[in-house]
Structure 1
């Protein structure tokens, strides 16, 4: 596997009168595989009927949501684990910490052994800054996004 990156200029506005320019490597995603394509691929690899794959994946999703809502971490064997988490603003005094200081609720995915092994063998490849395509803006391999309507990928993942 190869992770592709390009160089990107960022401007840090710590001092409004003297902005500071820096350069950073940012990953390039070549596209997105939609839900329907994923189900089709699982069908091809396992021989399970596509409808069964769909029902199982939706059942796993619904069950995971139930457990995450209760505050549990959910472990999916070699796949990895999901856990609920929060980001909160720090306060000077303990009594100032309350639910209003929580700025974001999120789910953290920790990859399992197979994903970790894949990442250990990854190579890094530079992509020309002139080629602007491919930062997750392409449709799925089957020509459609197939994802849930109105759902955007989490940029933190």
Structure 2
């Protein structure tokens, strides 16, 4: 398997190249391994039943949640660790630094080096095909206006080329 890329285009809206069409590689969606498939593979390669694995997963979720809420990081052996992080905004005076000057707190996962370095072994493949994005769920088609009438086609080189924002 490899990460596959197609070629997308976008009309630039800023800078010296404004109005020009630029082309770039964009990653295609790749196959997804579901949790049910992971459960099955673990059950086949160990003596752990799927029911026991589900119970362990629920318990692990509860423990990680409790520890994160308590402000601790959680080490998950060879996988990596979870921790809650936030950073402070730059303030002009010492007295201006308050809890309100902290950026929103979030939970991050930090993979161990053995997983983080896997990217070095992933082959890349550029398919010489144009990228056509899938329509977003719950969005109206770009080809129709409110009321159902079709939009006029854009002039060549001015949008409508299936590119995505970056």
Q: How many residues align?
A: 132
TM superposition shift of 1:122: 1.7
Q: Which residue matches 2:74?
A: 74
TM superposition shift of 1:40: 2.4
* Per-residue CA distance 1:127-153 (angstroms, 9 max, x = gap): 4333435x9x9xxxxxxxxxxxxxxxx
C-alpha root-mean-square deviation of aligned residues, in Å?
3.4
The answer (yes or no) to whether the contact 1:12–1:21 under 8 Å persists in 2 is no
- Seen in structure 2, the aligned counterparts of structure 1 residues 33 and 122 have a Cα distance that, compared at 3 Å, is closer
Q: Which residue matches 1:142?
A: none
Q: Which residue matches 1:132?
A: 133
Gaps of 5+ in 2: 138-166
Which is worse superposed, 36-45 or 73-82? 36-45
**What TM-score do you get using the length of structure 1 for normalisation?**
0.62
TM superposition shift of 1:112: 1.5
Which has the higher relative contact order, 1 or 2, with Cα contacts under 8 A spaced 6 or more apart?
Answer: 1
TM superposition shift of 1:51: 0.4
Counterpart check, 1:41 vs 2:41 = yes
Counterpart check, 1:56 vs 2:56 = yes
Higher helix fraction: Structure 1 or Structure 2?
1
The answer (yes or no) to whether the contact 2:11–2:19 under 8 Å persists in 1 is no
Higher strand fraction: Structure 1 or Structure 2?
1
Specify the structure having the higher radius of gyration (Cα): 2
Q: Which residue matches 2:143?
A: none
Query: Which structure 2 residues correspond to residues 107-122 of structure 1 after superposition, within 5 A?
Result: 107-122=107-122
